[in-house]
């Protein structure tokens, strides 16, 4: 089976690489920047010179793009993907996207006999390399079941959450929760440290709590590897994309008349960080604003460092 993959950035490249490593598949790739595909091409992927060329070769096509604007342009813009997809093709968008845009494009795809799934992921580049990724999928049951084996090559957890668009609703909501928890943690930890708790002891307590619930707070986790080390480049997840995800959450909250005061505060905090020129830094750099306000630095050398 030939699989197409569009968008070979920070996340897309490693997701495509997992498909390429499966001997049952052949992989066709496309990106506006051919340089982004050089490692995949070296390892055996087929380069498509255009979306048309990719669409004509593949039964299932995946895309992973920075956001709604790029995805809409790629699918429905001049010489967009939808013009070239064959009837019966399954198109899976992994972009963290606007649910309304997904449903709109899904309707256009359906009119052409194309099955669309939205399948954003929870995880980052490092977790994909480790084979740990959760994929939340919206769409009809039949194309989901057909495409599930392909998605399971990229993610160890593939969960259908409902009709088209609900994958992005789930991702936006859970992503906002995850990112807001980071910022709330910054408030709590700066208070504890300034009130006299040793940071290393506090982290030890957190590790013990985490080991009894959601997994270890170890040095590979986002906070210890970034904020606690003061290392925000290279980024696991760009701050500009975090802000985009907050904006998507805000739009979803407004459209459903759901108050979201705390998440809105976190969104404004992220915007302030963007205004410092940190758009391509790791998103946890936002917590340094709380450090500055508190005159406390949360820096910690692990026992193995």
Residues marked active site are found at: 171
Helix 261-274 with 166-194: angle, nearest 10 deg: 80
Q: Residue 293, CB half-sphere, CA atoms under 13 Å: how many?
A: 11
Q: Rounded to an integer, what distance in angstroms lies between the CA atom of residue 133 and that of residue 130?
A: 9
> 3-state class of 162 per DSSP?
strand
CB 276 within 8 A of CB 288: no
CB 13 within 8 A of CB 39: yes
Neighbours of 254 (CB within 10 A): 11
Beta strand ranges found along the chain (DSSP E): 2-6, 26-30, 46-47, 60-63, 90-93, 115-118, 121-122, 134-138, 157-162
Using alpha carbons, list the distances in angstroms from residue 176 to 100, 105, 149, 222, 265: 18, 24, 28, 15, 11
Measured in whole angstroms, how far is the alpha carbon of residue 5 from the centre of its chain? 16
Q: Rounded to an integer, what distance in angstroms lies between the CA atom of residue 117 and that of residue 139?
A: 5
- Could you tell me the two tokens for 42? 């070296």
């Amino acid at each position: 089976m030939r699989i197409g993959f569009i968008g070979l950035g920070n996340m897309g490249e490693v997701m495509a690489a997992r498909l390429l490593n499966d001997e049952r598949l052949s992989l066709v790739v496309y990106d506006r920047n051919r340089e982004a595909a050089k490692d995949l091409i070296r390892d055996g992927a087929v380069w498509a010179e255009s979306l048309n060329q990719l669409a004509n070769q593949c039964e299932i096509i995946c895309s992973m793009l920075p956001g709604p604007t790029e995805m809409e342009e790629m699918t429905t813009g001049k010489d967009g993907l939808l013009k070239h997809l064959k009837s019966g093709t399954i198109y899976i968008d992994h972009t963290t996207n606007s649910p309304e845009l997904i449903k709109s494009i899904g309707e256009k795809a359906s009119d052409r006999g194309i099955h669309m799934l939205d399948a954003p992921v929870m995880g980052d580049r490092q977790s994909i390399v480790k084979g740990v990724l959760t994929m939340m999928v919206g769409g009809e049951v039949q194309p989901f079941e057909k495409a599930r084996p392909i998605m399971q090559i990229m993610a160890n957890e593939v969960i259908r959450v409902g009709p088209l668009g609900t994958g992005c609703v789930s991702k936006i909501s859970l992503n906002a929760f995850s990112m807001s928890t980071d910022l709330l943690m910054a408030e709590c930890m700066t208070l504890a440290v300034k009130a006299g708790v040793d940071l290393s002891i506090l982290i030890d307590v957190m590790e013990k709590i985490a080991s009894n619930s959601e997994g270890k707070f170890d040095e590979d986790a986002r906070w210890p590897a970034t904020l606690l080390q003061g290392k925000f480049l290279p980024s696991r997840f760009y701050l500009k994309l975090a802000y985009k995800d907050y904006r998507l959450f805000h739009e979803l909250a407004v459209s459903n008349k759901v108050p979201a005061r705390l998440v809105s505060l976190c969104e404004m905090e992220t915007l302030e960080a963007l205004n410092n020129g940190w758009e391509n830094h790791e998103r946890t750099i936002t917590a340094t604003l709380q450090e500055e306000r508190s005159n406390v630095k949360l820096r910690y050398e692990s026992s193995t460092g």
